[in-house]
């Protein structure tokens, strides 16, 4: 109240227009009465008003789209702490003026964007590590590596990729699930990896937990899969034990009937891209346009049948997957939720040439098959 009276006095003596003085006096007088009445009725004390003022002031310490709240009230921050993915010496930089307070991101949901479903207790398709153009550790936690073991010397190689769709199911291409090479056998699934050259992956702000290597129980391949034509090139890898969801290991959303209207997609994996002479150790992200299926018909139609159960993407000069991306997820983002729309099936030996796209299995066309063939009971 003292603050309001001082404000009124200052403005009153500095106003030259008497009409403005009278109007302002009436306004402040009414406001004073209103606040006093509510203070009596609601039992608010000056102490609480002072707390409110301090709360308003401390909010100015935070950037846009964040709010200064107690650490325990910020689910994003507590989740990061629980998973040991924040460097302890950087925690203080997240504070907003008083001990125990942090700038917590405020995520708004547009009315036209539906959040991802809850899968095994976790919202799908939502990365807990986000930023404009950020493609580092934890940005795409749903990508898995499929390992094959050499029966003679025990060496493990990862020529294929898949995606996490539940704690025990990996979605991939049928040609990956059935892959056979000299002395190599499908053996394991690795999740939580970003850089294959490091035991523990670290970014600028945090380090991830160790990768998880999980043994395979069995595979479910689409019964219509044709090896020579890549028709129905889709499979499920069922794991022996459930994955432990962390910041770097989370499920991707499958497309809903209303979703996937954007033609801007990205492919994530560890293969070799156009123009690369070697396979990088870090996870790669390729921005690819989804184009009309007719373009794939023109390129591949004479040797391989192209159907509406497939998606055509890429075709830009110097920008495409060339090898090692088999089974990798093609992803479209709606709001802050990611949906897998395709599985990389095959491409051309002229990858990265203008007008030569790659072909993907259309995940939406197989949503029912995925649901019906996902085991309901785990041993």
Query: CATH number, domain at 173?
Result: 2.40.10.10
Confidence bin at 105 (pLDDT 50/70/90): low
Instruction: Evaluate whether residue 357 is within a structural domain.
Output: yes
> Residues 208, 187: contact at Cβ < 8 Å?
no
pTM of the model: 0.70
* Segment 249-305, tens digit of pLDDT: 999 999 876 655 678 999 999 989 988 888 899 999 999 999 999 999 999 999 999
C-alpha to C-alpha distance for 255 and 357, rounded to whole angstroms: 22
Q: How far is CA 77 from the centre of its chain?
A: 17
Do 237 and 289 share a domain, yes or no?
no
Do 203 and 268 share a domain, yes or no?
no
Confidence bin at 32 (pLDDT 50/70/90): very low
Do 150 and 246 share a domain, yes or no?
yes
* Segment 309-342, tens digit of pLDDT: 999 999 999 999 988 899 999 999 988 899 999 9
C-alpha to C-alpha distance for 190 and 177, rounded to whole angstroms: 14
Max mean pLDDT range (45-54, 105-114, 200-209, 357-366): 357-366
Instruction: Evaluate whether residue 329 is within a structural domain.
Output: yes
Instruction: Evaluate whether residue 24 is within a structural domain.
Output: no
Do 224 and 283 share a domain, yes or no?
no
C-alpha to C-alpha distance for 166 and 150, rounded to whole angstroms: 28
What total of structural domains would you count in the chain? 2
Do 245 and 335 share a domain, yes or no?
no
Q: Which residues are within 8 A (CB) of 12 and not within 5 positions of it... i.e. 6 or more apart?
A: 21, 24, 25
The chain-wide mean pLDDT, for the chain, equals 78
Confidence bin at 20 (pLDDT 50/70/90): very low
* Segment 152-200, tens digit of pLDDT: 999 999 999 999 999 999 999 999 999 877 889 999 999 999 999 998 9
Instruction: Evaluate whether residue 347 is within a structural domain.
Output: yes
Helices and strands (H and E) in the chain: how many:
7, 18
What are the φ and ψ backbone dihedral angles of 351, each rounded to 5 degrees? -55, 145
Instruction: Evaluate whether residue 272 is within a structural domain.
Output: yes
What are the φ and ψ backbone dihedral angles of 373, each rounded to 5 degrees? -110, 5
C-alpha to C-alpha distance for 169 and 239, rounded to whole angstroms: 6
Do 150 and 247 share a domain, yes or no?
yes
Q: Which residues are within 8 A (CB) of 274 and not within 5 positions of it... i.e. 6 or more apart?
A: 318, 319, 320, 321, 322, 351, 352
Instruction: Evaluate whether residue 346 is within a structural domain.
Output: yes
Identify the pLDDT of residue 282.
92
Instruction: Evaluate whether residue 167 is within a structural domain.
Output: yes
Write out the residue range of the structural domain in which residue 146 sits.
142-251+369-373
- The answer to whether residue 47 scores a pLDDT higher than 60 is no
Do 234 and 313 share a domain, yes or no?
no
Do 243 and 193 share a domain, yes or no?
yes
Q: What is the mean pLDDT of residues 44-69?
A: 52
Identify the pLDDT of residue 179.
83
Do 209 and 185 share a domain, yes or no?
yes
- The answer to whether residue 29 scores a pLDDT higher than 60 is no
- The answer to whether residue 51 scores a pLDDT higher than 90 is no
Do 246 and 268 share a domain, yes or no?
no
* Segment 116-141, tens digit of pLDDT: 688 888 899 999 887 777 888 999 99
Do 235 and 270 share a domain, yes or no?
no
- The answer to whether residue 344 scores a pLDDT higher than 90 is yes
- The answer to whether residue 42 scores a pLDDT higher than 70 is no
Lowest-pLDDT range of 17-21, 86-90, 253-257: 17-21
- The answer to whether residue 107 scores a pLDDT higher than 60 is no
Do 194 and 278 share a domain, yes or no?
no
Confidence bin at 115 (pLDDT 50/70/90): low
């Amino acid at each position: 109240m003292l603050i309001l009276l001082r404000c009124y006095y200052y403005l009153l003596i500095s106003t030259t227009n008497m009409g403005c003085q009278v109007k302002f006096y009436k306004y402040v007088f009414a406001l004073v009465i209103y606040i006093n009445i509510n203070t009596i009725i609601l039992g608010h004390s000056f102490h609480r008003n002072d707390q409110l003022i301090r709360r308003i002031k401390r909010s100015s310490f935070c950037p846009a789209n964040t709010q200064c709240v107690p650490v325990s009230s910020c689910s994003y921050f507590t989740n990061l702490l629980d998973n040991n993915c924040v460097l302890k010496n950087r925690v203080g930089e997240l504070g907003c003026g008083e001990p125990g307070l942090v700038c917590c991101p405020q995520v708004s949901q547009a009315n036209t964007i539906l959040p991802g479903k809850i899968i095994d207790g976790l919202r799908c398709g939502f990365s807990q590590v986000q930023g404009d153009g950020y493609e580092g550790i934890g940005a795409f936690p749903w990508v898995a590596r499929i390992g094959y073991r050499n029966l003679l010397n025990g060496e493990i190689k990862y020529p294929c990729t898949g995606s996490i769709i539940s704690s025990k199911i990996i979605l991939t291409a049928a040609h990956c699930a059935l892959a056979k090479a000299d002395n190599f056998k499908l053996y394991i699934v690795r999740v939580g990896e970003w850089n294959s050259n490091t035991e523990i992956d670290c970014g600028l702000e945090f380090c991830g937990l160790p990768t998880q290597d999980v043994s395979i129980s069995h595979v479910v391949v689409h019964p219509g899969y044709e090896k020579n034509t890549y028709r129905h090139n889709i499979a499920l890898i069922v794991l022996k034990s459930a994955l432990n969801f962390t910041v770097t290991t989370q499920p991707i959303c499958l497309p809903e009937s209303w979703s996937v209207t954007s033609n801007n997609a990205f492919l994530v994996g560890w293969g070799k891209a156009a123009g690369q002479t070697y396979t990088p150790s870090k996870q790669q992200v390729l921005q690819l346009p989804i184009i009309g299926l007719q373009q794939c018909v023109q390129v591949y139609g004479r040797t391989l049948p192209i159907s509406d159960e497939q998606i055509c993407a890429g075709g830009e000069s110097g920008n495409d997957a060339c090898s090692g991306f088999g089974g990798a997820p093609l992803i479209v983002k709606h709001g802050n939720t990611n949906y897998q729309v395709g599985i990389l099936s095959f491409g051309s030996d002229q990858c990265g040439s203008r007008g030569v796209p790659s072909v993907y299995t259309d995940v939406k066309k197989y949503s029912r098959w995925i649901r019906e063939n996902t085991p309901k009971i785990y041993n």
